[in-house]
A and B are shown apart, each in its own frame.
Chain A
Amino acid sequence: MQAEVRTQMLRMWRVGLLSGLALAAAPAHAFIAYVSNEKGNTVSVIDTESWTVTKTIKVGQRPRGIESTRDGKFVMVAVGDDDTIQVIDAKTQAVVDTLPSGPDPELFTQDAAGKVLYVANENDNTVTVIDLEKRARLGDIQVGVEPEGMTISPDGKTLINTSETTNMAHFIDTTSRQIVANVLVDARPRFAEFKHDASELWVSSEIGGTVSIIDPVKHEVIGKVTFEIPGLRREAIQPVGIGMTKDDKTAFVALGPANRIAVIDTATRKVTKYLLVGQRVWHMAFTPDEKYLLTTNGVSNDISVIDVAAQKVIKTIQVGELPWGITIAP
């Protein structure tokens, strides 16, 4: 292993000398993706160089929300029917601990430092705050009915939670843990994502069939992305997961039973392309180098790999039953 690294570095150094562009010439990095399989009660581990499943980890009941810790040492997965979040050691790829979430955790987000975790608990209309180091519960925040989508503003000051039956995005001050604003969006808001420059918050509405674009300062909906696919009835278009490129120019939205990912030009807020993926696509994750976007296709039990620059689906990987969430270690 060490010898391999040394050879690689030596080669990089040589190439660097030759071209003067050491970084650009570095070989593509292999990353590890973790996929939660809601029905299979497993997490599939995927190597992004060979594009194969290298391991299947047994976890608790109904794994859904899944995220890497900021340092990449652990992967956290919400196992809703066991009312907890399990912690997987990235090195040993085994479950090593649990976190004291509230009942039926589904999605969660962490602050920039990776110290505080915020969990949406669907069953009791609360967001639970957890200290990640001490693995202890710090408190709860009352929100709307069936909290789901969770994200945090780039400056870490505002936590966003969406509630599926209340149909709102709740803006929560992370210091006072108080709701400071509520913005009504279309029916069943599932997912929230900030632009990296914090200028806009995007919220997908699964049943409403739209993505609302919210001004996070004025707390107002300033635009809406709509979808239309020839030959598909409106009810089949159910936006869920959102991915935003680092330059904030392109957004990808998973359209559920429409079996497509919409590619959106964020300047015009219009769909430029629909990419056909697997069945009932819900969530997605970029590789850290942003070359690839991986999507979870629940009903076809697979993952689609999208070449981000080419905006093309290049591969499909079979995983466990009903893949739901995905995270890629940094």
Chain B
Amino acid sequence: MIRWLAGLIGLSLVATQACAADPVTIGIGYLGVAGTRSTLSLVEQPAENDGVAGAKIAIEDNNTTGKFLNQRFTLEERRIKESEDPVQAATALAEHNSFIITDLPADALVKVADALRDRGTLLFNAGAIDERLREADCRANVIHTAPTRSMLADALGQYLVWKQWKRWLLVVGSHDEDKLFADALRRTATRFGAKIVQERTFEDKGGARRTDSGVTLIQRQMPVFTQQAPAYDVLVAADESEVFGAYLPYRTWDPRPVAGSAGLVPRSWDAAQDQWGAIQMQNRFIKLNSRRMTALDMQVWTAVRMIGEATSRTNSGDVKKVTDFIKGPDFSIAAFKGTRLTVRDWNLQLRQPILLVDGRMVVSVSPQEGFLHQVSELDTLGYDRPESKCKLK
């Protein structure tokens, strides 16, 4: 142990500040947006610490391993309001932290990535699912643990096609992100041989999500909205803005299942996931946070664990070494999904199975059997290397 510590002193800035007996400290920052969004279902209302709770438990996990390797991990959390400059906040975090996990909108993330490029800080995008961050706006200093819209849409589409529900009625919300998800779903339908028999738009005319006696009104609206549709097997809703999706199940004019933003939903993680050792993760999480683990918590946990995995494999807290290792061919991470997760070297997106959940159970896990790929079956989800427009810089 002394031998490698001695080696470290020569190599890393962190180690030069410490004498051989002191642990190597690895600072991890968390940059998110203040406040939480409102959801239609009260049950799905995110907690104040959604995301960062995953960082806290991953720091604990890393430190349990770190005590055997003389490494110590710290977490610094920063939440910005809409009026605040993300670049300023990120720069301040980067003073003490070589790694920053972000849950930021796409524009803010690109700005932060460009501002921190020369500093060598490694960013992990745990929140934004936008395709463009992995395509035209990809950056060499941003690793993505959040899945993309196309990965989520493909995961759902593979299952619907396997189920022989190939005729889709697509209902799209009127906000930009709803339209982006609809784009991803259309691409999926073309790729896997499903047919969108009709598209409808659900206009957001404002209105409260919480009302007394709202249910009576919804029960009148939804059957009317979905009537006179051509023959279809499944209604696919694109409603990331939480305006109407959750109102659809059991209320469609024709008795049809709902999928997409409500009903059967594709997610990177769910509180119901208990396979592949996940029950240990869920139990640890509940014990520490007194609530269940969300997809965002998991995306953040995975990012922090990727740093821990790389620091233990390289025996180093040096950001350059760790970054090279994560981007290299030998890196993989175990994240309770039944298979190793690796990084797509062309755009730094983490490959991962996607769960299909109904709010109570994990219904299935994609990629589905029979969707084959020459490199990794996980690459049947989302944009593949030959289609990618990303040029890492």
Residues of A within 8 A of B (CB): 104, 122-123, 125, 144-146, 163-168, 170, 179, 182, 184, 187-188, 206-209, 233, 235, 257
Contact = CB atoms under 8 A, between A and B. Distances in A.
Contact of A123 (B61, B64, B280, B338): B280
B74 interface: no
> Which of A144, A164, A235 counts the most B-chain CB atoms under 10 A from its CB?
A235
B273 to A, nearest CB: 16
A145 B65 contact: yes
B298 to A, nearest CB: 14
Contact of A187 (B61, B332, B378): B332
Interface string B319-349: 0000000000000111000111000000000
A123 B312 contact: no
Nearest to B340: A207
Contacts of B280: 104, 122-123, 146, 164
A164 B277 contact: yes
Given A164-B334, A209-B340, A233 B377 contact: yes
Interface string B59-84: 00100110011000000000000000
B68 to A, nearest CB: 4
B340 A145 contact: no
**6 tightest Cβ-Cβ pairs between the two chains A and B:** A166-B65, A207-B334, A182-B68, A235-B339, A187-B334, A207-B340
B228 interface: no
B340 A235 contact: yes
29 contacts: A122-B280, A123-B280, A125-B64, A144-B64, A144-B65, A145-B61, A164-B277, A164-B280, A165-B65, A166-B61, A166-B64, A166-B65, A167-B334, A170-B68, A182-B69, A184-B69, A184-B312, A184-B313, A187-B309, A187-B334, A188-B277, A188-B334, A207-B332, A207-B340, A208-B332, A208-B340, A235-B339, A235-B340, A235-B376
B339 A207 contact: yes
Contacts of B377: 233, 235
A230 B184 CA distance: 34
B210 interface: no
A232 B31 CA distance: 41
Interface residues of B, number: 22
B283 to A, nearest CB: 5
B292 interface: no
Interface string B235-272: 00000000000000000000000000000000000000
A184 B312 CA distance: 8
A215 B177 CA distance: 55
B281 to A, nearest CB: 8
B65 A146 contact: no
B284 interface: yes
A145 B334 CA distance: 13
Contacts of B338: 257
Contacts of A182: 68-69
Contacts of B68: 144, 166, 168, 170, 179, 182
Contacts of A122: 277, 280
Nearest to B372: A233
A67 to B, nearest CB: 21
Nearest to A256: B338
Contacts of A104: 280, 283
A207 B334 CA distance: 6
A125 B67 CA distance: 13
A212 to B, nearest CB: 13
A184 B61 CA distance: 15
Contacts of B64: 125, 144-145, 166
